[in-house]
Amino acid sequence: AKEAGRNTFRSHLLDTGDEALNDLTLRNGLRPALTRGEFSLHYQPIIALASGKLIGAEALLRWQHPTLGNVPPNRFIPVAELSGHIVAIGDWVLGKACQEAAGWAERGLGPLMVSVNLSPLQLRHGSLEASVAAALSNSGLDGRWLELEITESTLMGDTDALIDQLNRLKAMGIRLAVDDFGTGYSCLAYLRRLPVDRLKIDRAFMADIGAGADDASIVRAIIQMAVGLGLGTTAEGVEHPHQHEALKALGCDEVQGYLYAHPMPAEQFVQWASAHAG
């Protein structure tokens, strides 16, 4: 009962407590979190829809706070962005993800892609290329096995400088994906200018697909546009078999979601990948 009481207090503090106080608690915790080893990465499998084969995984950041317990990324990443800590944390994520992905190959898995989420701040900071280059050389991972996910809203500040930066990242062999696609207001003309390889269709659009003929129209339009531009498509948040079937009929090429697997700790992902190899 004591333990349950404490957990109730914890989640109360995170969910409904004084927001400013909570943010301060989180913010103060972020600096020592890296050195204390409180961060880890979970990996969610990404699957080729046509063959059903595992092709890679998205790295998702987890924070085990010493008193608050597990703090969800949607809660602490905005705080880390406001405080600027996200740049150092993002570097850590890049290094760790490349290191773990290089380990998969050594353990006879793969070759598998690893996808890493980027904060807009990392793109603006100016150290991103050096961080990516360091992560690749320290791990020995070939750049073609790394994918960087950049949200649609980040890319919308579409300037020549941003495009140059993306082109330099592409020159390292890495793949670029537009994350949460469909939630912004991007048009074809803007997408054509960006050196991206793939659109990750936001899970908001998965809810109704497969439920009725008209409900798939947005996803169908996105996939047709992607095909026209020579881009691949990954559907996020696939939870039900009828969504899987609808995506297959629409020609989506990669899928990710609870239907296939939840994000899991690195070691568990290796087990999962071994069981789903070939």
Q: Which residues bind ligand C2E (CB under 6 A)?
A: 44, 60-61, 72-74, 77, 90, 93, 117-119, 179-180, 203, 237-239, 257-258, 263
Structure tokens at 209: 């697909």
Q: Cα 270 to the chain's mean position, in Å?
A: 18
What is the Rg, in whole angstroms, of the alpha carbon atoms belonging to the chain?
19
Q: How far is the CB of 33 from ligand C2E (least distance, A)?
A: 13
Q: Which contacts (CB < 8 Å, 24+ apart) does range 19-23 have?
A: 23/79, 23/82
Q: How far is the CB of 191 from ligand C2E (least distance, A)?
A: 19
By CB under 5 A, which span of 10-18, 80-88, 174-182, 253-261 interacts with Ca ion?
Answer: 174-182
Complex with Ca ion: residue 29 or 182, whichever CB lies closer: 182
Positive/negative CA dihedral, 127, 130, 136, 138: negative
CA distance 62 to 106: 24
Q: How far is the CB of 254 from Ca ion (least distance, A)?
A: 13
- Is the peptide bond between 45 and the residue preceding it cis, with omega within 30 degrees of 0? no
Regarding 179 and contact with Ca ion (CB under 5 A), the answer is yes
CA distance 137 to 157: 30
Q: How far is the CB of 206 from Ca ion (least distance, A)?
A: 11
Instruction: Out of 100, 180, 253, 254, point to the residue binding Ca ion (CB under 5 A).
Output: 180
Residues 120-159, interacting with Ca ion (CB under 5 A): 149
- Interface with Ca ion (CB under 5 A): 117, 149, 179-180, 236
